[in-house]
Structure 1
Amino acid sequence: MAVSLLPLLLGVLHVLGILPMDGLLRLDDQIYDARLRWTMPATLDERVVIVDIDEQSLAEVGQWPWPRNRVAELVDTLFDRHQIALLGMDTVFAEPDASTGLPQLERLAREDLKDLPAYSAALTRLRQGLDHDRQLADALRGRPVVMGFYFSNESGGRRSGALPEPVLRRSDLGGRTLRATQWTGYGANLPGLAAAAPLAGFFNAVPGDDGMVRSLPLLAELDGAYYESLSLAMFRTITGMPTVEPRYPPQPPVGDRYDLAHSIALRKEGGTLEIPVDDRLAVLVPFRGPGGPQGGAFRYVSASDVLANRVAPEVLRDRIVLLGTTAPGLLDLRATPVGEAYPGVETHANVLTALMDGRMIARPDYAAGYELVVLLVAGLVLAFGLPQLGAAGAVGLSLAVFAAVAGLNTWLYLGHGLALPMAGTLVMAGLTFVINMSYGYLVESRAKRELAQLFGTYVPPELVDEMVRDPDSYSMEASTRELTVLFCDMRGFTAIAETMPPTGLQALLNTVFSRLTRVIRQHRGTIDKYMGDCVMAFWGAPVETRGHAALAVLTALDMAAEIAAINRERAAVHLPDIGVGIGLNTGDMCVGDMGSDVRRSYTVVGDAVNLGARLEGLTRVYGVDVVASESTRRQAPDFVWQELDRVRVKGKAQAVAIHTPLCAADQLTPELSDELKEWEQALKAWRQQNWDRCLAHLEKLQRKNAKKVLYRLYAERVVSMRVEPPPPDWDGSTAFDTK
């Protein structure tokens, strides 16, 4: 009996927060996700239409951002021709439109040509036609438009543009708590646009620990002021702009938790609507379908079709329109429970229509109390009932408890829109059954032994030790997750191999691989395979590792340093140097046990893996030891990076930025900082096709660092471009057709 109560005790400690278990929280999320997918209506909601800046629009109109006069034309067309009811913009216009050259013309009027009245007069006549930002502001003014903006917590708290008026201030709360997500920076619309369309909402999503977007905050805090989300701002617009008020539970027993707002009230004459929220003032997104133009939940119309008048007016007439994008290159696709590449704009559409229908899904503030009661009832029934029953009776009672817990939870979800936890209770019931049947210890021991056998040859021993503490969380089954992959190839190895006997070559390879493998394992890497003179490794599996990209970058730098140490040892005995080339990429990869019936291995595959291999090959071109993708650089900000180029590698249609890590951020010297600033100017001039300025910067760089291959490479490219200029659609990238 006492042993049977152990799972119940653990469950209670988890619910009370004394011993929280992340696995149960993840399981609750997975249960919620599965039920959400099963119960989606998957029917078309005609009230909201998404005008999509899709691949077709980018091909016909041009790359985003478009000139503002084109956006103004789109706005005018939507309101004048299609007579839409409301426009919400899941975009932000934070920078002035410089496509007409107006800023440069105005600078000339202020400086070089300031003494020419005729020039100033001509510029005054031309300004209205060249000022695309003003044209967009004129298109927005006086129309029902909700602009978009975003918050950020970037280092330095960068702020740009003009924020709308907040809907609440901390001083309005009377000293009570309002625990919204807090931000330090923002990117908002240009002041002229914000003045023309003063109502705006943020479009940030706050992913869960697993990267899934399940909820959207309705309010967010910046400097003691609370701003509304895009969907809430649109809903308030169509309902007559009710005031926003937080609602709290009745005056409690003692404890700060009762001071948390449990809902947001929209109040106006004639009534009040309460929207239940969680402790971050977020609402669960009631997804209607799998998302995207083919998802069937909302009608998608290409923005280029609207501009070209290929859309019948009745399709959009009196509709609420959201302007957003599904183009992969514009980075507004999010991982959600119903789709791994879900359009961000459609999450706002789901919340908006749910607010209109009053069908929100709520995680109530009493969720923990509910879970505790259900857990105690189910646990006590099993603890006292199972010892009295035989094997068949124990199975029957356990199944009955499972069915009762799941049935009650599902009824509350479907009938009352309550998303309540049950993973803790189900797991407790399962553990109680297993312990009572005397299988717990045997199963656990067998699982640990199998786990060590499966993974012991792939990962460092210390990671195996972590895995055997919770063996049920690991398996060889293939899954897709975000990982960082590393390819390391030895340069000049073929020439060295031709001068050595097989035994000497074997000894050299064993020495180099042993030392490089030691570096990889020190930084929690998983060895994938050795291929001739190449080693492949990855981070983030089988053990999930936060900061896996930074660990891989640190490993690459240490591997290059290890090769340098090996070369010093070889030089002491008059042997030639060994070079190294390392490619890094971070992205979604399929990881698991793969192969044939004869031979299998724990490995990673996918486009992101292939890109990492391609990047390793580029180290020779740019004369660096390490080439990393933009996704790796973004996730490893604590290093000093130098951008090398934008490239199109074989098998990838879109250009990717590539970088090389130079050192840790705290090792940056003033000389290196000056060199990198000079290089940024050279690269900017290169992409602007300003060959003279680019070459001038490169000459300065070569004087500072004459041995750097990168600077000689670009100097040679400039000479080639002068002889044979690039095509008109050149975007500054370099194509590589070989692997």
Structure 2
Amino acid sequence: MMARAQQIGVVIGLAIVAALTMLRADDPGIFKLIRGVTFDEYQRLLPRSFEPMPVRVVDIDEASLREFGQWPWPRDRLALLVDRLSQMGAAAIAFDVLFAEPDRLSPRTVVREVAGVDPLLAEKLPDNDEIFAGSIAGKPVVLGFGLSNEGSYRPPVKAGFAVTGESPISAPPVLRASTPLRPQLEANAAGLGHISLNPGNPSPVVRAVPLFLTDGEQLYPNLAIEALRVAQGVSTYVLSGAPDRAGIMTSAKIGDFVVPLTAVGELWLYVTPDRAERYISARQVLSGTGASPDVAAAINGSVIFVGTSAAGLQDIRVTALGENVPGVSLHAQAVEQILSGQFLSRPDWADGLEILTIAVLGCLLVVITTFVSPAVALVCGLLITAMALVASWLSFLHAGLLLDPLAPIVSGSITHFAATSFRILVIDRERREVRRAFGHYLSPSLLHRIEHNRDALRLGGDDRELTVMFVDVRNFTEMSERLAPTDVVAFLNTLLDALSRHVVANEGTLDKFIGDSIMAFWNAPVDVADHEAKAVRTALAMRETLAELNASDAFGFGPDQEVGIGIGIHTGIACVGNMGAKTRFNYSAVGDAVNVAARIESSCKEVGFDILISDSTARSVKGMALIDAGAIPLKGKSSRTKILAVLGDEQVAASREFAALNAVHRQLMQALHSHSKNTRKLMDTAKLRADEVLGGLVEFYRRIPSRTGHFRELSAGNEKSAADAEK
């Protein structure tokens, strides 16, 4: 009864965990808000330290407006600003200003609006847009454009794009339309970039800036990175997409700088407290007496952003530090961050990790709370909370990773509360009833077993096609007689560890170690594509590893004693599953396929070669260097089993040397099978050719994981067999 109550408690707890996991996967707005606030707190605890960078904001501040009048200024004054900044050596001049309408203060525009004025006279007057366009021509000036919900205008793109990996064209936020720029300004600007800091984000806090927008066919850069591109004089952005999936952006290379991005092409801002050193008043640049030497030095070689901090112009944003700053300063901080190389990253696997953490820790808490005391469950919950907080903070501190600790903590707390409540209300009550009823009749150990009763695991298996491998050490009995038991164990540990790693690396299943032997199989418990080829590649890797171990005297036997192995591989139907007793069992395979593989391995001694495979395996191994090793009788089999020797992989099979050797070997095998009167003559001729070919092969096969000696042994063995057949 209690076991059933525990089962119900586990089911209810897991249902709660599943609901919380799906809620986190849906990621509602409240989760995003809490996550954002958490990351803000991390930045407040450890903000990016301000370092002097070649980045400045030319600020159209209150002092500038008092001296030169209200905004917008006539564009001939902006032309003068560009000329002054260019003369002082600005590397790039980026305007966080929209130039969508004609300059209403232009003399030509003003005169046109006066009634009765001759239009020809108006045309002779200067036009401020033309003056501004002429000023920016040939200079490193970047103009900004905004987003619009009307129309279909999209600005031209001044930069090229190169992509590595799959195309990320659909990753960034969508640009449906933008504010049109004045044609002559658009044409003469060295770069164009969007000035939107958090499009579509309802939060007033700017935490991440989209460096690109997309219309599905073209990417449009942000003002900050466009200014950085122009300042370096590069023409192309190099974007990295996911290697196996389109629509994901991982990083962008802008000249000499690589910027890690979120999957949608955003840069997480790592901000500093707002500093006066970042700003230069536009009044100082436009001063009639000229800029001071300090101002000129600050501008020389710097990326300059022109914007406004005047409160009335409503370009004030909130940073992760809770400060109200001009929007233009965030563009400047983005470039500072790129130049400093200090990045924050929330990789695309972060959501998956947090969802998995909720599921795994929730299930763990359900089990602990149900089957262990509430006190232990509470301690485990507190440890999990502490570990989540510490892991998240250390990830931020040392790697700049933004991992949310609150979602797992909140979900774990809810799960723990629900599971504990169910236990107190149901499970513990039933346990107390059992103890009251049977406490006088049963020992504490029996009571414990009653309270924690569970069904035994079922035994059984399934029939499926497997590729089975057996590996055995040659002359192990003789070797072990000469060694102390501890030396035998050390030898086996070294050898079996080195060889078995290749099984795991090639998606095989290590079944068991049988003394000096290894049994492994492929295609269970899950399907493995090309399992025959992977088994053969494992054997070749084992051969190479053993050669390296012998060459380095890893076993301590001395250079004159090499360790040899035999490997047998067969593909067939076997039964695989949990086998043994109800209290102790192993996942293993049995059947005719296993027996055949074991007997092929034992035939390596007779054939004189280290890797033999059956014909059923060879049919699925295309292109590898295989030679016919005949058909051998296997114990318990009425017919002979055709086997092949594995000389090497596809590279060996494609070599001219292997083709020559294979031709000689085929002649020898034909002579063996023909039993003709001319066998001896053919064998003598083939032997000469074999010696000639093998003489040239020695140096070639030393460079690949093969064993030249086996070629000579096979040829010699086949000659002897043919001679015996003739007799």
Q: Compute the TM-score of the two structures, normalised by the length of structure 2.
A: 0.51
* Structure 2 equivalent of residue 217 of structure 1: 210
* Structure 2 equivalent of residue 514 of structure 1: none
Question: Residue 268 of structure 2: which of 244, 259, 284 is its match?
Answer: 284
1:52 deviates by 0.9
- 8 Å CA contact 1:163–1:189 kept in 2: the answer is no
The answer to whether the aligner puts 1:186 opposite 2:178 as a matched pair is yes
* Structure 2 equivalent of residue 149 of structure 1: 145
* Structure 2 equivalent of residue 113 of structure 1: 118
Please give the secondary structure, in 2, of the residue aligned with 1:182. coil
1:108 deviates by 7.9
Q: Give the alignment of 1:65-84 within 5 angstroms.
A: 65-80=72-87, 82-84=88-90
* Structure 2 equivalent of residue 608 of structure 1: none
Q: Deviations for 1:169-213, whole angstroms, at most 9, x for unmatched residues?
A: 99x998775232222321243222222223111111225343432
- 8 Å CA contact 1:183–1:222 kept in 2: the answer is yes
Equivalent-residue separation in structure 2 for 1:382 and 1:101 (angstroms): 76
1:91 deviates by 0.9
* Structure 1 equivalent of residue 343 of structure 2: 360
* Structure 1 equivalent of residue 192 of structure 2: 200
Cα distance change, pair 100–231 in 1 and its aligned pair in 2 (3 A): closer
Equivalent-residue separation in structure 2 for 1:174 and 1:378 (angstroms): 34
1:123 deviates by 5.4
1:231 deviates by 1.0
Question: Residue 260 of structure 1: which of 235, 238, 247 is its match?
Answer: 247
Residue type of the partner of 2:19? L
- 8 Å CA contact 1:24–1:423 kept in 2: the answer is no
1:60 deviates by 1.7
Q: Deviations for 1:350-406, whole angstroms, at most 9, x for unmatched residues?
A: 211222233322221212221133223422332233446656544432221111112
Please give the secondary structure, in 2, of the residue aligned with 1:90. strand
Residue type of the partner of 2:22? L
Equivalent-residue separation in structure 2 for 1:381 and 1:331 (angstroms): 51
* Structure 2 equivalent of residue 299 of structure 1: 278
Cα distance change, pair 414–83 in 1 and its aligned pair in 2 (3 A): same
* Structure 1 equivalent of residue 318 of structure 2: 335
Equivalent-residue separation in structure 2 for 1:22 and 1:380 (angstroms): 25
Q: Deviations for 1:518-560, whole angstroms, at most 9, x for unmatched residues?
A: xxxxxxxxxxxxxxxxxxxxxxxxxxxxxxxxxxxxxxxxxxx
* Structure 1 equivalent of residue 307 of structure 2: 324
* Structure 1 equivalent of residue 22 of structure 2: 13
Structure 1 portions without partners, runs of 5+: 115-119, 252-257, 290-294, 443-739
Equivalent-residue separation in structure 1 for 2:117 and 2:277 (angstroms): 54
Question: Residue 241 of structure 1: which of 234, 248, 253 is its match?
Answer: 234
Please give the secondary structure, in 2, of the residue aligned with 1:434. helix
Equivalent-residue separation in structure 2 for 1:362 and 1:60 (angstroms): 43
Equivalent-residue separation in structure 2 for 1:344 and 1:167 (angstroms): 27
Number of residues of Structure 1 aligned to a counterpart in Structure 2: 411
1:409 deviates by 1.9
Equivalent-residue separation in structure 2 for 1:49 and 1:198 (angstroms): 19
1:296 deviates by 2.3
- 8 Å CA contact 2:92–2:228 kept in 1: the answer is no
Residue type of the partner of 1:11? L
Residue type of the partner of 1:205? L
Question: Residue 94 of structure 1: which of 90, 93, 100 is its match?
Answer: 100
- 8 Å CA contact 2:248–2:264 kept in 1: the answer is no
Cα distance change, pair 240–102 in 1 and its aligned pair in 2 (3 A): closer
Cα distance change, pair 21–150 in 1 and its aligned pair in 2 (3 A): closer
- 8 Å CA contact 1:145–1:197 kept in 2: the answer is yes
Equivalent-residue separation in structure 1 for 2:53 and 2:267 (angstroms): 23
* Structure 2 equivalent of residue 418 of structure 1: 401
* Structure 2 equivalent of residue 396 of structure 1: 379
Please give the secondary structure, in 1, of the residue aligned with 2:280. strand
Cα distance change, pair 386–242 in 1 and its aligned pair in 2 (3 A): farther
Cα distance change, pair 104–440 in 1 and its aligned pair in 2 (3 A): farther
Equivalent-residue separation in structure 1 for 2:69 and 2:399 (angstroms): 47
- 8 Å CA contact 2:370–2:423 kept in 1: the answer is no
- 8 Å CA contact 2:58–2:280 kept in 1: the answer is yes
- 8 Å CA contact 1:374–1:405 kept in 2: the answer is no
The answer to whether the aligner puts 1:29 opposite 2:23 as a matched pair is no
Cα distance change, pair 329–250 in 1 and its aligned pair in 2 (3 A): same
- 8 Å CA contact 1:89–1:148 kept in 2: the answer is yes
Structure 2 portions without partners, runs of 5+: 1-8, 426-727
Equivalent-residue separation in structure 2 for 1:317 and 1:267 (angstroms): 21
* Structure 2 equivalent of residue 683 of structure 1: none
Equivalent-residue separation in structure 2 for 1:425 and 1:245 (angstroms): 37
- 8 Å CA contact 1:50–1:300 kept in 2: the answer is yes
1:133 deviates by 1.8
* Structure 1 equivalent of residue 327 of structure 2: 344
1:66 deviates by 0.2
Equivalent-residue separation in structure 2 for 1:315 and 1:169 (angstroms): 34
- 8 Å CA contact 2:59–2:282 kept in 1: the answer is yes
Please give the secondary structure, in 1, of the residue aligned with 2:118. coil
- 8 Å CA contact 1:150–1:186 kept in 2: the answer is yes
Identity of aligned residues (%): 26
- 8 Å CA contact 2:107–2:128 kept in 1: the answer is no
- 8 Å CA contact 2:344–2:402 kept in 1: the answer is yes
1:234 deviates by 1.6
The answer to whether the aligner puts 1:226 opposite 2:219 as a matched pair is yes
Of 204-213 and 34-43, the range deviating more from structure 2? 204-213
Equivalent-residue separation in structure 1 for 2:250 and 2:277 (angstroms): 27
Equivalent-residue separation in structure 2 for 1:422 and 1:353 (angstroms): 29
Equivalent-residue separation in structure 1 for 2:424 and 2:37 (angstroms): 27
* Structure 1 equivalent of residue 575 of structure 2: none
Residue type of the partner of 2:332? A
- 8 Å CA contact 1:92–1:149 kept in 2: the answer is yes
Cα distance change, pair 166–227 in 1 and its aligned pair in 2 (3 A): farther
Q: Give the alignment of 1:263-662 within 5 angstroms.
A: 263-266=250-253, 274-289=258-273, 295-296=274-275, 299-308=278-287, 309=290, 311=292, 312=294, 313-339=296-322, 341-387=324-370, 393-438=376-421
